[in-house]
Amino acid sequence: MSLQNTQALHVHQKVTFMVNRYEVFADDNGKPGRLVGFAEQKRLKIKEKITIYTDSSKDAVLFEFNARKVLDLGSGYDVTDANGRQIGLFRKDFAKSLLRSTWHLEQPGWGTSTGAERNRFLAGFRRLWQWIPVIGDAPFPMRYHFDFVAENGAPVFSVDKKTWLRDHYLVLVQDPGVDRRLVIAQAVALDALQSR
């Protein structure tokens, strides 16, 4: 099955000393199947750029996303293919994200979808978490979920954190027209960039 026909993906993050490693798997009857994407996010970069490869050998680029600005309070991230052609972009809605994290995903010729945290109470608690002395430096242990919808309200895809302590996500795609590379970029960004 081609990546574009995949309806469910599993995104796993592994934290190492210098990088956050992301592995993206196609679904195989509710479990991670074949590896379809691999990325390493270097820590403490001033301007974010993450390259997603087709596998862990890093021989072939699937796509990458780049911050438009060093300090990005909503200008966005461009998603480009291996040849540098625009696939789309995503951006955090800074004002709405003060209370409930909200993202916008745009794909040329397809439209814009908006994703927000499903649970408003949990969104508020997650914001308070970072202000708790000592504890706030630890990763947020609760599971959180995002639902992305089209401008007409139709579901596009969802990202559900499936584990309490490790960062494992299930991505379910409802709209067959959305580019799966954009979906993967947004799913990785929800983990890699969420606290920014």
Spatial separation of the C-alpha atoms in residues 47 and 178, rounded to whole Å: 27
Q: From CA 82, how far away is CA 63, in angstroms rounded?
A: 5
Q: What angle do CA 53, 39, 49 make, to 5 degrees?
A: 100
Q: Given this model, what pLDDT does residue 196 score?
A: 42
Q: What is the pLDDT of residue 9?
A: 98
Dig out the tokens for 77 from the structure.
Answer: 């991230």
Phi, psi of 190 (to 5 degrees): -60, -35
φ/ψ (deg, to 5) at 115:
-120, 135
* Contact predicate 161/147, CB 8 Å: no
Rounded Cα distance between 48 and 195, Å, is 14
pLDDT of residue 155: 97
Angle at alpha carbon of residue 95, lines to 94 and 99, rounded to 5°: 100
The per-residue pLDDT for 166 is 67
| Single pTM value for the model | 0.86
pLDDT at 36 over 80: yes
- Chain centre to alpha carbon of residue 62: 15
* Cα–Cα distance, 29 to 46 (Å, whole number): 40
Give, in order, the Cα–Cα distances in Å from 112 to each of 90, 97, 107, 154.
9, 17, 7, 11
Q: What mean pLDDT is predicted for residues 1-5?
A: 89
How do the domains of the chain map onto residue ranges?
3-192
3-192: what fold?
Answer: Tubby Protein; Chain A (3.20.90)
CA dist 101 and 90 (Å) reads 13
Q: What is the mean pLDDT of residues 66-70?
A: 82
DSSP string, 72-113: -SSS-EEEEETTS-EEEEEEE-HHHHTTS-EEEEEETTTEEE
More reliable by pLDDT, 93 or 136: 93
